[in-house]
A and B are shown apart, each in its own frame.
Chain A
C-alpha cells in the first residue's frame, strides 16, 4: 500500500519567515500527491496536487510544492508566513487504482507574530 510520512508534527515560524513542511512518500510507481489544509473546526481543503504535469506545483494562498522523485519527497513551502496560515497540514497520496487515499499524520503550523 502507498504511504506518506510527514516529518515534524509541530512547526513554528515567525510571521514573514519561510514555511517548509516535509512529506516523503512510499510508492513503486509515480503517484498522485496532495497537500490539504485544515483550519480549526473545519474539514480539509485542497492546497495543491501533483499529477505528473509539472514537478513544481503552485497552490492557493501562495503555497507551492516540488515533486522530487530521486528523494521521494513532496515538501510544501511558502516564502513568507502569514498569521492566517496557522492550521494543520496533511500530505496525502492516492492508491494506484485511485479508489483509496492515504494521509500523513499531519503537521500543525504555528505562526508567531
Chain B
C-alpha cells in the first residue's frame, strides 16, 4: 500500500531533550516536506527536500533540522525542543517537484514539549 509513515504518533518530552520524528514513504517520491499545524494558523511549512541531499527552509525553520540521506526517509530533528514547538506535525511527499503535484500526507505526530 502506498503510504507515508510517521513515527511516533504521540510524543511527550521535556525542554532541551533532543528528539527525532521519522518519516518514510514507499512511493519513490522525489519531494518530501514537513509541516506544523497549529490552531488558527493552518499548516506551515518547516523544511522541504527536492531529492536526496537537497533540502531547503520553508516558512518556519527555526529550531528544526532535517536530512535526506536516502530517497525514502526524511527525519525531522529538534536539537533542543522548547514549549513553543508543541504542535501537530505532518510529513508529506509528492512524485515530483512540480506545483501541480498531489501531496500525500502521513497521519501526523502530536508533540508536547513540557
Expressed in whole angstroms, the minimum distance between the Cβ of A61 and any Cβ of chain B is: 16
The size of the chain B interface, using a CB distance under 8 A, is 28
The size of the chain A interface, using a CB distance under 8 A, is 30
Contact present for B48 and A100 (CB under 8 Å): yes
**A99 neighbours in B (Cβ, 8 Å):** 31, 48, 50, 56, 97
On whether A51 and B105 interact (CB within 8 A), knowing A90-B43, A105-B42, the answer reads no
Contact of A44 among B45, B50, B98, B103 (CB under 8 A): B103
Question: CA of A95 to CA of B105 in the docked complex: distance in angstroms?
Answer: 18
Question: CA of A98 to CA of B56 in the docked complex: distance in angstroms?
Answer: 13
**B101 neighbours in A (Cβ, 8 Å):** 98
**B42 neighbours in A (Cβ, 8 Å):** 6, 90, 103-106
Question: CA of A1 to CA of B108 in the docked complex: distance in angstroms?
Answer: 26
Residues on A lying within 8 angstroms of B by beta carbon are 1, 6, 9, 31-32, 34, 36, 41-46, 49, 51, 90, 92, 94-106
Can you list 10 contacts pairing A with B, beta carbon distance less than 8 Å? Answer: A9-B40, A31-B99, A42-B107, A43-B105, A44-B43, A44-B90, A44-B103, A49-B102, A100-B45, A101-B33
Residues on B lying within 8 angstroms of A by beta carbon are 4, 31, 33, 35, 40-45, 48, 50, 56, 58-59, 90, 92, 97-103, 105-108
